[in-house]
């Protein structure tokens, strides 16, 4: 009887731990797919490229820095579509 209670208590602790883990994973997934993250990375990419181009003495460094940051932004916009296509093509189930 006491052993059953210990097993149940252990299972409850595991369930609480799993739910907490799931919440963390969901929050991390939300961050990974958020527009805030995309904008921060785009801005940081632009800033880094701009500073590098300034150091090189490039003309119109601010405008030229839009190329890598714009490429990143466009690539993140196309990823959801490409992911769906990849999943559809890669995980075809054989006919049953």
What pTM value is reported for the model?
0.69
Tens digits of per-residue pLDDT, 7-18?
Answer: 999 999 999 999
pLDDT at 4: 84
How far is C-alpha 58 from the geometric centre of its chain's CA atoms?
Answer: 33
3 and 42 in a single domain? The answer is no
Same domain, 39 and 18: no
Domain, as residue range, for 40: 35-96
Number of structural domains, the chain?
Answer: 2
For residues 16 and 48, membership in a common domain is answered with no
Same domain, 22 and 65: no
Average pLDDT, integer, range 13-31: 95
Say yes or no: 61 and 75 in one domain.
Answer: yes
Residues contacting residue 89 through CB under 8 Å, at least 6 positions apart:
none
- Residue 38 Cα distances to 42, 43, 60, 74, 76, angstroms: 6, 9, 24, 10, 8
């Amino acid at each position: 009887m006491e052993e059953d209670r210990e097993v149940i208590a252990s299972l409850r602790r595991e369930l609480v731990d799993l739910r907490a883990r799931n919440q963390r994973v969901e929050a991390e997934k939300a961050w990974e797919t958020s527009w805030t993250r995309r904008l921060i990375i785009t801005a940081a990419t632009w800033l880094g490229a701009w500073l590098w181009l300034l150091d090189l003495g490039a003309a119109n460094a601010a405008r030229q820095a839009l190329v890598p940051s714009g490429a990143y932004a466009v690539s993140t916009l196309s990823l959801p579509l490409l992911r769906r296509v990849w999943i559809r093509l890669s995980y075809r189930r054989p006919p049953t």
